[in-house]
Structure 1
Amino acid sequence: MIKDAWLTEAQEAINSLEDLETKLNLNFNSSAAESILVNIGVKLDRLESLLLNPPTRPILTNEDLDFRWKMLSDIQLRTRTLARSVSASLTCPNRPSNVPDIGSNDNTDRYNQDFMKTVYSQDQKELMKPLLFDDENRSQVENELSFMSMISLRKACSTFLLFLGLVALLFLVVLLCTTM
Structure 2
Amino acid sequence: MSTPAVPDDAIRRFTTEYVVAEDRMRLSLERGDDSIAVLWLTRRLMRRLVPQIVKVVDALPRLRGGGEQAPPPSDNAQRRSQLDALGKIEQQAPVLAGELPDGLESHLITGLGLRMAKTAVFIDFKVGEDLVQTLPFSEAALRQWLGLLHLNFRKGEWVEDVWPSWITAKGWDQGPDAMRLN
When normalised by structure 1's length, the TM-score is 0.28
Answer 1 or 2: which has greater helix percent: 1
Q: Which has the higher contact order (CA 8 A, sep 6+)?
A: 2
